Structure 1
Amino acid sequence: MTEDRVVAVLVTPPIARAAPPGIDPADFLTALAEDTYELVAGLDFVSPVVVTSVPGMEEIVWPGTPVIEIPDLSGAALVRTAFAALPRAEQAVLLGADAPDLPPLLIGKLFRELGRARIAVCPAAEGGAVALAAHLPYPDWAAVGLDDLDPVKQLRASAPGSRMVARGPGWHRLRDPDDIRLLDPGLEGWDNTRALLSA
C-alpha cells in the first residue's frame, strides 16, 4: 500500500551536542525528538515516521508508528539514505528532530510548494535546512545535506529546471547550546524540552 504523504522525523547523534550545561545530552536529544515527533503525529492527512541512527527511539512514538533504523551518516548521504528508507509514498517531508517548536503550518506549506516544484526547502536560521520536502522517489540530482550552508542555492544549481526547487518559510534548529534562546515560549507544544530546561 502506498501512502500519499509521509513526514519523517530524522533523529541523529549530533542533536545531543546542543544540550545546555547541566543537562544530560541523551535526555536532551530524546526530549527534542519526542517533541518534534509529537508535532508531526498531530498532523492530519500525513503518516508519521521516525528515521534514526540513535537506538531506543521506539519509546517516544505512538503504537503503529514505524521507527526505521539507518546507518550513522551525514550530509547528502544521510538525506538520500533517509528518503530511500521511507515507506512507499507519493510525497515526503524529512524533518530534523532539532526543531521541537516548529509551527505545524510550515510543514503544510512545504507540501503546498510541492504542487509546483519537485523539492521544497524550509531554510534554517544561520544556514542549512530545517526540513526538505520531495516527490518520491527522491531525485538523483538532489545531493544536499540539512547542514549545507545554502541548500536552496545548491539544489537550484543542480536541478534540471529552474522551477524544480521551491523555498518555503524558514525556522530555526537547536544545533548548539546557545540556540535554546531561539525557542518561542509563546508557542504551544515542545512540552518535553520545556520541562527539561525548567527542571
Structure 2
Amino acid sequence: MVAAIILTLPLPAQAGDITSAYTKIDPSDCMVFTTADAANGVPRQAVCPGYGGYPVLILTTADRESVYYGFPPHGEFISRWVSFSAPNRMGGTIEWRVLTEGDRSVPVAAIQRWFIDDPNHSEAAVEVLVVRKVGQIEEWRGCILGYVVATGNADANQKAREIADAKAHENDCRIIDVAIEEGARPLPSITLYGYD
C-alpha cells in the first residue's frame, strides 16, 4: 500500500507553494513489465505507484538500480540508465516536492536516499540523496538536478529540498547544471547511458 503524508514547509515557489509529500515503495504494488536479461544487458523493469498517479519506473540489475519519476518519453524508457557505478540500493521512501497553484498540485521533483557500497569503507555504505526532476505527461523532463552526500553532511535533507525547489522549474534538462553537495565522503562515481 502506498502511504502519502503531506507536510507544509515555509518555502516560496515561483507562482505557488511547494510542500513535501512522502510515498513508500511497496514491491507488492509494483508491476514488472520486463524481466532481467543479464546476457544482453537488459535490466529488470518495473513500474510502481508514486504521488498522485505519477509512476515510479525502476530498472534493476543484480546489484544496481536506476529510477525515473513521472512520465517517460514515448518508448524511450528502457534505453535510459543513470545510477552509481558501485553496487547500490535505493531507500524505500520518496520525498516529492509538490507545487500547488490554485486547485492544481503537481510533483515537480523527487528526492530519494541511496546506499552505495564503498570499497574504501567496507563497514558502511555511502548515503546520497538523489534529487530528480519529475517527468511531466506533456513531454520528457525527468533528469538529475543534484546529489547531496548525506554521510557526514549536516542538514542534507534541507539542502536537497533547496536544490529541488531552485532547479525543478528549469524546462530544458540538457542545460541544467547538476548541483553536488559533498559531506564527509566524496560523491561516488556515476554510470549514465542513453542520455544526450
TM-score exceeds 0.5: no
TM (norm. structure 2) is 0.27
Question: If each structure's helix is expressed as a fraction of its own residues, which one has the higher value?
Answer: 1
The structure in which a higher percent of residues are strand is 2
Q: Greater relative contact order: 1 or 2 (C-alpha under 8 angstroms, separation 6 or more)?
A: 1
Q: TM-score, normalised by structure 1?
A: 0.27
